[in-house]
Structure 1
Amino acid sequence: MVRFGYTMMTEQAGPRALVDDVVAAERAGFDFSVTSDHYFPWLASQGHSPYAWSVLGAAAQATTRIPLMTFVTCPTTRYHPAVVAQKAATMQLLSEGRFRLGLGSGENLNEHVVGGGWPSARHRLEKLAEAVEIIRGLFAGVEVNHQGAHFDVVNAKLWDLPDEAPPIGIAVSGELSCSLAGRLADLVIATEPNAGLLDAFDRHGGTGKPRIGQLPVCYDSDRDAAVRRAHDQFRWAFGGWPVNAELPGPAGFEGASQYVTPEDVAGKIPCGDDLGAFVDAVRPYADAGFTEIALVQVGGDRQRPFIEWAEKRLLPALREL
């Protein structure tokens, strides 16, 4: 059975609202939650970007059932992998085993703030593979000494370890990342209903592992308002990953999306309160073979109406899939 999740999108709400909303999502019956980990919003109109790991710690204490996950953290530039391992182990303890560590090769949008330039996609994936090796070693409880092509770790050891290490997910967008995920990850992450990505993941060792997708939706009883909001805050999403990973800030996404129309956005994001349209948008992910699908409600101040509607109508309909 496919499981359905709720997204704490840090780019569109402040930390207290994010925690309050995931508590409401837990009560509403969502099966899991995921959290973006950004330094900048995609667009200035989104207006937020609190520190995801503080939000996660608060969410772990405010909830009791719903799983938590980074979607995704880049463990290679803004964070060192040894620090990510410590944060993830602490989260697994705080949440009493409900945490999963989603990792990715990052976006210039968030990682450029520490300087050092922005490497090629292949170079970023090489760094990610080395980072996962370091994190796995620290999760094992051993003292890690590592001198690699990209990272040095000296006498590192985690002193507070959970009985079960957090599962590691890796985000994919092409053959190279699918190869990496199939070899090194416990689950795979994607943001498009592309069965080819899952097939590639399976070819490289991913068969039988969970696969998590994500898609934006924009619920509102006023469809025109939903379309305006989706265009205002989510038009950045249609540039494609090769573009989205490279742009350095919200101004870049403003420029790249200036010719995206409200009609373009409404053609790709279900807007309004037509239940059938929402189910139809989710169906390709289920058909492609995703075992978990996280929904992103566009609009930081429109989470509660969406959660209430999801509890009463959307989640029951989706579970018929």
Structure 2
Amino acid sequence: MTTFGYFLSSEEHSPEELVRQAKLAEQAGFESLWISDHYHPWLDEQGQSSFVWSVIGALSQVVSLPITTAVTCPLVRIHPAVIAQAAATSAVLAGGRFRLGVGTGEALNEHIVDSRWPPAAERLDMLEEAVALMRRLWAGELVTHRGEHYTVDTARLYTLPDQPPPVYMSGFGEKSVELAGRIADGYICTGPSAELVERFRKAGGAGKPVQGGLKVCHAPDQEQGQATVHRLWPTQGIVGEASQLLPLPRHFEELAQMVTPQEAAKGSPCGPDPDEHLQAIKAYVDAGFDEIHISQIGPDQDAFFEFYATKVLPELR
């Protein structure tokens, strides 16, 4: 049975507001949480980008929902041995309800410690090595590792959960989806693509969970919703590899000037009509997703949770 969660936007909201939203999500009937892991927001207008591991610690103490990072890049900005420690501690605090979502990242967040941004194929190799390294550390081994991309010298994790945190991998291209099927415990995708889900399953992901995510904007009318999306998330209308390659929010702002409100809101239901929201979510259900996480764009979170608790979630179930 498909379950429905809430997607916490670290780029839009302060850490204390993220904690408040998580509590509202649980009260409204959402069954899990996604939380984004960024160093920079996509745009200065979004205005936030807190350290996700501190927020996860707080979330673990105020909600009983499973928590997944969507997604962490354990490649450049933070060494995978450190991510392994952060994920293990989060899993302990969350009582085993933590899932580590990983991906190959964006220059936007990773370039801050190394201006060289590896090409996609190299980042996939780095991710495969990073995941294997983290799993060795979660097993409680004393790890010495000298690989192609990472070096670890006699490292051991002492604070460990009863079971290692599952690793879910994000992927959109053919090679990344196939790697996810081979090395990950689950798959993450932000578009309702039955083709990608099927590719993941055929690559070794049969029987493994598939998580999806989408952004919506509950608003008094469609026009106001689209205006809010265009102000805060015009990046949704930017296609191609730019999202992985550009290093600064101002670069995304420059590209976003070419995006119309309609292009920004494509795929994001806007306004007060529950049927539009239901249709967008059911596209993920029909594509074979097991968990679907919905994010409300903009500041009007309380009205969104009331709307979903009364008009949307009951219909989905």
TM-score class, shorter-chain normalisation, is: over 0.9
- The yes-or-no answer on 1:315 pairing with 2:313 is yes
Per-residue deviation, 1:127? 0.4
- The yes-or-no answer on 1:62 pairing with 2:62 is yes
Per-residue deviation, 1:116? 3.9
Give the partner amino acid of 1:6: Y
Provide the TM-score with structure 1 as the length reference: 0.96
Q: Secondary structure at the match of 1:38?
A: coil
Q: Match of 1:242?
A: 241
Instruction: Label 1:231 to 1:116 Cα distance change in 2 as closer, same or farther (>3 A).
Output: closer
Q: Secondary structure at the match of 1:113?
A: coil
CA contact 2:170–2:187 (8 Å) conserved in 1: yes
CA distance in 2 between partners of 1:246 and 1:116 (Å): 11
- The yes-or-no answer on 1:7 pairing with 2:10 is no
Give the partner amino acid of 1:102: G
Q: Match of 2:178?
A: 179
Provide the TM-score with structure 2 as the length reference: 0.97
Give the partner amino acid of 2:51: Y
Moved over 4 A (4+): none
Instruction: Label 1:263 to 1:163 Cα distance change in 2 as closer, same or farther (>3 A).
Output: same
CA distance in 2 between partners of 1:208 and 1:72 (Å): 21
Q: Match of 1:49?
A: 49
**What per-residue deviation string (whole Å, max 9, x for no partner) do you get for residues 69-92 of structure 1?**
110000011110000110001001
Most deviating of 234-243 and 162-171: 234-243
CA distance in 2 between partners of 1:187 and 1:268 (Å): 23
Give the partner amino acid of 1:215: L
Q: Match of 1:287?
A: 286
RMSD, matched Cα: 1.1
Gaps of 5+ in 2: none
CA distance in 2 between partners of 1:223 and 1:192 (Å): 21
Gaps of 5+ in 1: none
CA distance in 2 between partners of 1:268 and 1:199 (Å): 21
Q: Secondary structure at the match of 1:31?
A: coil
CA distance in 1 between partners of 2:77 and 2:68 (Å): 18
CA contact 2:138–2:157 (8 Å) conserved in 1: yes
CA distance in 1 between partners of 2:265 and 2:17 (Å): 26
CA contact 1:46–1:233 (8 Å) conserved in 2: yes
Q: Match of 1:145?
A: 144
Give the partner amino acid of 1:79: I
- The yes-or-no answer on 1:273 pairing with 2:272 is yes
- The yes-or-no answer on 1:19 pairing with 2:19 is yes
Q: Secondary structure at the match of 1:295?
A: strand
CA contact 1:191–1:214 (8 Å) conserved in 2: yes
Most deviating of 97-106 and 257-266: 257-266
CA distance in 2 between partners of 1:17 and 1:241 (Å): 32
CA contact 1:5–1:33 (8 Å) conserved in 2: yes
How many residues are matched? 317
CA contact 2:73–2:104 (8 Å) conserved in 1: yes
Per-residue deviation, 1:252? 1.1
Give the partner amino acid of 2:313: L
CA contact 2:225–2:270 (8 Å) conserved in 1: yes
CA distance in 2 between partners of 1:141 and 1:266 (Å): 46
Q: Match of 1:100?
A: 99
CA distance in 2 between partners of 1:54 and 1:241 (Å): 32
CA distance in 2 between partners of 1:39 and 1:212 (Å): 23
Instruction: Label 1:9 to 1:207 Cα distance change in 2 as closer, same or farther (>3 A).
Output: same
**What per-residue deviation string (whole Å, max 9, x for no partner) do you get for residues 30-57 of structure 1?**
0100100001111111111111111111
Q: Secondary structure at the match of 1:286?
A: helix
CA distance in 2 between partners of 1:275 and 1:254 (Å): 31
Per-residue deviation, 1:241? 5.2
Give the partner amino acid of 1:208: G
CA distance in 2 between partners of 1:113 and 1:56 (Å): 23
Most deviating of 259-268 and 43-52: 259-268
CA contact 1:173–1:241 (8 Å) conserved in 2: no
Give the partner amino acid of 2:301: Q
Q: Match of 1:258?
A: 257
Most deviating of 307-316 and 217-226: 217-226
Most deviating of 146-155 and 109-118: 109-118
CA distance in 2 between partners of 1:161 and 1:263 (Å): 47
Q: Secondary structure at the match of 1:294?
A: strand
